[in-house]
Chain A
Amino acid sequence: MNAIAQIRRNDQPIYLDYQATTPMDPRVLEAMMPYFTYKFGNAHSRSHSYGWEAEEGVEKARAQLAKLIGADEKEVIYTSGATESNNLAIKGVADFYKDRRSHIVTTVTEHKCVLDTCRHLEQEGFTVTYLPVQQNGLVDLDVLRAAVTDKTVVVSIMAVNNEIGVIQPLAEIGKICREKGAFFHTDAAQAAGKIPLDVEAMNIDLMSISGHKIYGPKGIGALYVRRKPRVRLAAMIHGGGQERGFRSGTLPTPLCVGLGEAAEICMKEMDGEAVRLTKLRDRMLKGLNAKLPEIYVNGDLDQRIPGNLNISFAHVEGESLMMGIKNLSVSSGSACTSASLEPSYVLRALGVEEEMAHTSLRIGLGRFTTEHEVDTAVGELVHHVTKLRQMSPLWEMSQEGIDIKSIEWAAH
């Protein structure tokens, strides 16, 4: 893979945080370049060839993206990213249908931008049901079925979790929503381009996509909005009426083109990439398990995207581990929340004990990860976990057979 040389300089650490963001594929950059320079027109200009050329670019990209999810290109609107898409989808339908339906269903492991949007809507008078998840991170379909009522306007459940990579049973969720007459919105930021998605087969009415999670540019995303049966949204950004009136503003042509190109590459390479990444992930897990006792994978290992591992290294605090593995870029919890000292709310929702949640790392593998990088990472992790366990009083106690839960700890 020659592209790697263009992605990472030799003096940079090994990047293993592909759920936070992905490097842009050089092929994507190449497709974008003309739109930064001589194809600079406004895609909404109708009176000259600059505008037509730009419009051709964004429309081709729209079709590329639509194809990735089995949608019609007319059903895809551009946004600034998945956060905006999630806001527009949930607030948009809630607001439009509020006279008839005022209940929203979501899960406790959603991304903050969905949870925070729901909190906001609660203040506006909507009721929200936050479904728990099972120990493997997946929603219980019976619990979901029981929660959806004839007052439910939208069910928002993420396709793939950003911390633990588990894949929700989308088709089954879609079926329940359709039966109950509620819209199904899914945040597919971590899923698009990684697993097959089909809005028809899965009965998905609204889907959020992010550019920078699929080797495309940052600052662009999309929202799929079903046309048949039609889903209506109240717009959040008003103006020139672009994007079917759902989202006004001049389109960032190069970013749109990049998103489309990124989607097409993902679609072409998805099957081969899944096999390659699964091999790499298995190699990493096997390597770690061979040298380190008491490590636990959080979240279902089968219903999971190939490029994610979330591991608890018992009795080793995650932050200190990250400080040791200087040559590896991973995260503890999600990047959005790791500034706080609280353990991950996603892991807590799985029933992972707080002390175990403090020992977890999220390791993300992706398109430019090599076998050599995986082996280096295993070596560094084994070295530092072993070293930190040597200085961990909890490890010492567990080796002596003392049950850590039997001690009365003074919470501070």
Chain B
Amino acid sequence: MAYSEKLLDHYENPRNIGSLDKNAEDVGTGLVGAPACGDVMKLQIKVGPDGLIEDAKFKTFGCGSAIASSSLVTEWVKGKTIDEAETIKNTDIAKHLALPPVKIHCSVLAEDAIKAAIADYRAKASKKDETREAAE
């Protein structure tokens, strides 16, 4: 199977590997996939006071395409608002990395991961609002 140069670059020099504090209020964590299926992605975003994603980190268990897809997504979300980040489509990821047809599911998983991280961040934020209201 021939992989694109962009994909190989992300696999060999993955961007933003690592972890953020999952308990921090300004961090959203998405953990998607399943070990039994051979793909697990953990994607985290840190949202600044201005509402922009100021940092993103990932860790992925999966094939080279899965690693490249998650690495790419962390690059794309940085500097975006969470609403903007939410519009990232798996087809854009697949197109950018020229994923072969059998690897399209990797891009789907990356989209799921960013959505899950955003959902986690939003859940934390609304919980924070509730506690504040309750305190008032």
Report A's interface with B, CB cutoff 8 A.
315-317, 319-320, 323-324, 341, 343, 353-355, 358, 390-396, 404, 407, 409-412
Establish whether residues B63 and A391, one from each chain, have CB atoms under 8 Å apart when the complex forms. Answer: no
Query: Which of B39-47, B76-84, B121-129 lies at the interface with chain A?
Result: B39-47
Report B's interface with A, CB cutoff 8 A.
3, 11, 14, 17, 19, 31-42, 58-64, 66-67, 102, 105, 108-109, 112
Q: Evaluate whether A323 and B63 lie within 8 angstroms (CB atoms) in the complex, with A394-B40, A396-B19, A412-B109 already known.
A: yes
Main SS class of interface, B: mixed
Q: Evaluate whether A390 and B63 lie within 8 angstroms (CB atoms) in the complex, with A355-B36, A411-B37 already known.
A: no
Establish whether residues A343 and B38, one from each chain, have CB atoms under 8 Å apart when the complex forms. Answer: yes
Q: Evaluate whether A412 and B37 lie within 8 angstroms (CB atoms) in the complex, with A319-B64, A341-B102 already known.
A: yes
Establish whether residues A320 and B40, one from each chain, have CB atoms under 8 Å apart when the complex forms. Answer: no
Residues of B within 8 A of A317 (CB): 38-39, 61-63, 66
Q: Evaluate whether A394 and B61 lie within 8 angstroms (CB atoms) in the complex, with A323-B11, A410-B34, A412-B105 already known.
A: yes
- Report Cα–Cα, A407/B112, bound state, in Å: 18
Instruction: Determine which residue in A343, A353, A358, A391 has the highest number of CB atoms from chain B within 10 A of its CB, and name it.
Output: A391
Q: Which residue of chain B lies nearest to A411 when distances are taken between CB atoms in the complex?
A: B34
B109, chain A: closest CB distance, angstroms: 7
Establish whether residues B61 and A393, one from each chain, have CB atoms under 8 Å apart when the complex forms. Answer: yes
Q: Give 11 A-B pairs besides A391-B67, A412-B37 with Cβ atoms closer than 8 angstroms.
A: A319-B38, A319-B63, A320-B11, A320-B67, A324-B11, A391-B58, A393-B31, A396-B42, A409-B36, A410-B34, A411-B36
Contacting residue for A412 out of B3, B31, B33, CB 8 A: B33
14 contacts between A and B (CB under 8 A): A317-B63, A317-B66, A319-B64, A320-B62, A320-B66, A323-B63, A343-B38, A354-B36, A358-B35, A358-B36, A391-B17, A393-B40, A394-B40, A396-B59
- Report Cα–Cα, A341/B64, bound state, in Å: 13
A361, chain B: closest CB distance, angstroms: 13
- Report Cα–Cα, A341/B58, bound state, in Å: 23
Q: Which residue of chain A lies nearest to B116 when distances are taken between CB atoms in the complex?
A: A410
Establish whether residues B17 and A390, one from each chain, have CB atoms under 8 Å apart when the complex forms. Answer: yes
Residues of B within 8 A of A392 (CB): 59-61
